[in-house]
């Protein structure tokens, strides 16, 4: 960014850990006026020390979303950039998860991003410019056992982003999706916690749940979490989406993400599902 011009204001959600924190730090270094948000404000003190404005925002709460955006607008005028990053994975078998929990998954991963977009877009339209970057996932292109509700939320986010991109481009607003595969953050820890509490208690899925728990723990305990991407790589893609003159519609991040999307796109559906059945835990006949 040109240092002679006024810094562009960018709001980032979910900055108290992982990808959001890396994005906030990267954008600060690039000279943006970063507004870092999350529910756990105490976990963003390092970002405040690095120069970010820090605010408590729960993306499921319209008042907290709107208050945050109005505060940024009062200082900077229209928000220039929005990075919708807040999210988590509701892990568990589709039949064995209550509808309320699925609703909450969508409240955060989908409606949260939509609420944020609704809050910033009037300003962006009036300014005739703006950028929205939605952190979706390769999980938004296919679906795996034990992750159906999370996948559904990321499919929805990717789909909304694709349409929003078409509809807001005439107003000068550019929308991109960032699609990583597995990244080394607290994401799996949260997924494990949610898995332990997401069940409706159906006996048919008891063993499958235990197998899923074991599978996620194996990924988590790999030495240096081998094979996982880094939050910094995702942050670099976010910066590209914000700074490119013509941002790409979608940024697929990392070799693993390219590999699984390549397999998904090239293999016939039945073959892809055979690979999935061989690689991931599934319920057995006795649960
Ligand atoms: N890690 C991966 O493997 C991976 C892969 C692809 C995509 N992603 C996506 O990347 C994004 C960030 O995940 P991460 O890996 O960085 O996980 P993380 O370390 O667990 O961070 C998740 C962030 O989301 C915030 N959050 C959760 N619920 C929120 C709410 N209701 N309101 C506001 N903020 C909320 C959390 O902050 P508070 O709890 O403080 O609110 C936290 O800062 C997610 O959208 C995730 O789906 C992750």
Q: Where along the chain do its domains lie? A: 9-279
Which pLDDT value is given to residue 287? 59
Cβ–ligand 1 distance for 186 under 6 Å, the answer yes
- Model pLDDT for residues 63-80, shown as the tens digit of each residue: 999 999 999 999 999 999
286 C-alpha to center of ligand 1: Å? 34
Q: Looking at ligand 1, which atom is closest to the CA of residue 109?
A: 45
Q: Which helix (H) or strand (E) holds 256?
A: helix 255-266
Contact 135, 86 (CB under 8 A): no
- Residue appearing with tokens 């996932």: 137
What pLDDT does 222 receive? 82
Name the residue of 18, 111, 149 to mutate for ligand 1: max ligand atoms within 8 A of Cβ. 18
* 107 in Cβ contact with 60 (< 8 Å): yes
Region 250-257: what's the mean pLDDT?
A: 96
**pLDDT value, residue 286:** 66
DSSP state of 223: G
> For a substitution probing ligand 1, which of 14, 23, 103 has the most ligand atoms within 8 Å of its CB?
14
Closest listed residue to residue 158, CA positions, set 59, 250, 81: 250
Cα–Cα nearest to 77, from 128, 37, 15: 128
Whole-angstrom distance, CA of residue 254 vs CA of residue 182: 9
Q: What is the pLDDT of residues 38-56, one digit of tens each?
A: 999 999 999 999 999 999 9
CA distances from 200 to 64, 137, 284 (A): 31, 27, 18
Select from 11, 12, 19, 156 the residue to mutate for testing ligand 1; criterion: most ligand atoms less than 8 Å from CB: 19
The pLDDT-based confidence of 224 (bands split at 50, 70, 90) is: confident
**How confident is residue 4, by pLDDT bands cut at 50, 70 and 90?**
low
* 13 in contact with ligand 1, CB cutoff 6 A: yes
Pocket of ligand 1 contains residue 88 by CB under 6 Å = yes
Tokens 């055979």 map to which residue? Answer: 274
Catalytic residues: 150
Q: Whose CA is nearest to atom 48 of ligand 1?
A: 183
- Give, in degrees to the nearest 5, the angle at Cα 33 between 28 and 37: 85
Q: Please give the pLDDT value at position 188.
A: 95
Largest Cα span, the chain: 67
| SS3 readout for 63-122 | HHHHHHHHHHHHHHCCCCEEEECCCCCCCCCHHHECHHHHHHHHHHHHHHHHHHHHHHHH
Q: Is 242 in the pocket of ligand 1 (CB under 6 A)?
A: no
CATH fourth-level superfamily of 9-279: NAD(P)-binding Rossmann-like Domain (3.40.50.720)
> Whole-model pTM?
0.97
DSSP codes joined into one string, 131-166: EEEEE--GGGTS--TT-HHHHHHHHHHHHHHHHHHH
- Between 112-127 and 148-168, two packed helices, what is the crossing angle to 10 degrees? 10
pLDDT at 227: 82
- Model confidence at 3: pLDDT above 50: no
Tell me the pLDDT tens digit for each residue of 85-122.
999 999 999 999 999 999 999 999 999 999 999 999 99
Residue 26 exposure: Cα atoms within 13 Å on the Cβ side: 22
Classify residue 51 by burial, with Cβ atoms within 10 Å: 0-12, 13-18, 19+. Answer: middle
| Closest atom of ligand 1 relative to the 229 alpha carbon | 3
Q: Is the CB of 198 under 6 A from ligand 1?
A: no
Phi, psi of 167 (to 5 degrees): -80, -25
pLDDT band at 198 (very low <50, low <70, confident <90, very high): confident
**Quick one: average pLDDT of 185-200?**
95
Give me ligand 1 centre to Cα 86, in Å: 4
The dihedral built from the CA positions of residue 280, 151, 230 and 65, taken in this order, carries a sign that is negative
């Amino acid at each position: 960014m040109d240092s002679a011009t006024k810094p562009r204001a960018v709001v980032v959600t979910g900055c108290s850990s992982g990808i959001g924190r890396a994005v906030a730090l990267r954008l600060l270094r690039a000279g943006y006026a970063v507004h870092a948000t999350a529910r756990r404000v105490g976990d963003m003190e390092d970002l405040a020390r690095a120069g970010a404005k820090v605010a408590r925002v729960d993306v499921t709460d319209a008042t907290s979303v709107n208050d945050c955006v109005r505060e940024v607008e009062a200082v900077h005028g229209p928000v220039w950039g929005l990075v919708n990053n807040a999210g988590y994975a509701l892990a568990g078998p589709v039949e064995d998860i209550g509808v309320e929990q699925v609703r909450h998954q969508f409240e955060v991963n989908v409606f949260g991003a939509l609420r944020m977009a609704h809050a910033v877009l009037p300003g962006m339209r009036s300014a005739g410019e703006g950028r929205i970057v939605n952190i979706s996932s390769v999980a938004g292109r296919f679906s795996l056992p034990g992750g159906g509700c999370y996948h559904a939320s990321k499919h929805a986010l990717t789909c909304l982003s694709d349409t929003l991109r078409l509809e807001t481009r005439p107003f000068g607003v550019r929308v991109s999706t960032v699609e990583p595969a597995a990244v080394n953050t607290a994401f799996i820890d949260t997924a494990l916690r949610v898995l332990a509490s997401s069940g409706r208690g159906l006996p048919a899925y008891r063993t499958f749940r235990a197998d899923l728990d074991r599978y996620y723990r194996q990924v988590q305990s790999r030495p240096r979490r081998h094979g996982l991407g880094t939050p910094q790589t995702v942050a670099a893609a976010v910066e590209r989406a914000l700074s490119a003159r013509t941002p790409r519609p979608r940024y697929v991040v990392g070799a693993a993400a390219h590999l699984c999307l390549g397999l998904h796109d090239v293999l016939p559906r039945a073959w892809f599902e055979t690979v999935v059945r061989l690689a991931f835990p599934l319920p057995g006949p006795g649960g």
